[in-house]
Amino acid sequence: MPFDFRRFDIYRKVPKDLTQPTYTGAIISVCCCLFILFLFLSELTGFIATEVVNELYVDDPDKDSGGKIDVSLNISLPNLHCELVGLDIQDEMGRHEVGHIDNSMKIPLNNGEGCRFEGQFSINKVPGNFHVSTHSATAQPQNPDMTHVIHKLSFGDTLQVQNIHGAFNALGGEDKLTSNPLASHDYILKIVPTVYEDKSGKQRYSYQYTVANKEYVAYSHTGRIIPAIWFRYDLSPITVKYTERRQPLYRFITTICAIIGGTFTVAGILDSCIFTASEAWKKIQLGKMQ
């Protein structure tokens, strides 16, 4: 007797004349197909979309920066002349720079009565401060008005990613126009290193920061101290890393198979239960009639 390979078929076919269609089975089949379609489209959307996951670790992520952090500052002082406005930088490594002018620009406001300062500079990765003041002016004004609006203060690369809601420009929009004109302003910044890695493995380095502030009029034994806008910073040892990920193809296929198989199995059990109960009810009714 020749070997029949069909004996390995575990999906035996039932002749159509041995099957019985029902309205309940048709309804369950249609609902089953619609449910599978819905879950398939949901999984497909998740497979196409990019997921951003985050993690925390202790390290300096940008070791090639030479121990420097790029800073971008944009601030308006509507009641202080541009020739009086300057940027000073200090830190614990001994840096003390008064009147920083590299990569900076002063734009007159209010017909020359005010000034908008825009600058890009670098700071060392140690605690320190930079401040906007009149310290670099040739002659100190009697009553400098330090009311201001901060348009932008950011550190490192600019990240424009929709999936991340971080504090990369926490002071953007800070309005101190109604504050005491003779008051100094202290902004205490805690800078958090941040890494963003896209799907290709390319990394960008930026910094988020938290901020606390206070406003005060300072005095010494010689009288009132000239006010300034201070940005005092310290770095956090914790690094935040964001990584773009996409669901693997094998996981997507496995999920789809589980959806189809599980849905058909549950629908088959449900249909079988309904059909068995219906047949039993018919036999009961038939027995009552006899």
What average pLDDT does the segment 200-222 reach? 89
pTM surpassing 0.85? no
CA dihedral 245, 249, 255, 261 (to 10 degrees): 170
pLDDT of residue 105: 94
d(CA 60, CA 193): 8
Express each pLDDT in 24-48 by its tens digit: 888 888 898 899 999 999 988 888 8
pLDDT of residue 290: 55
pLDDT of residue 9: 67
Sorted by sequence, the CB contacts under 8 Å of residue 194 that are 6+ apart come out as 156, 159, 166, 168, 205, 206, 207, 208, 239, 240, 241, 242
pLDDT of residue 23: 82
Compare 122 and 267 and report the one with higher pLDDT: 122
Enter the tokens of residue 39: 């879950």
Q: What is the 3-state secondary structure (H, E, C) of 116-147?
A: EEEEEEEEECCCEEEEEECCCCCCCCCCCCCC
Kindly report which listed range (105-114, 180-189, 279-288) carries the lowest average pLDDT score.
Answer: 279-288
Enter the tokens of residue 190: 């805690």
pLDDT at 188 over 90: yes
d(CA 76, CA 109): 8
pLDDT at 101 over 70: yes
d(CA 159, CA 173): 18
pLDDT of residue 278: 81
Give the pLDDT band of residue 69 (cuts 50, 70, 90). Answer: very high
Mean pLDDT for the chain? 87
pLDDT at 175 over 70: yes
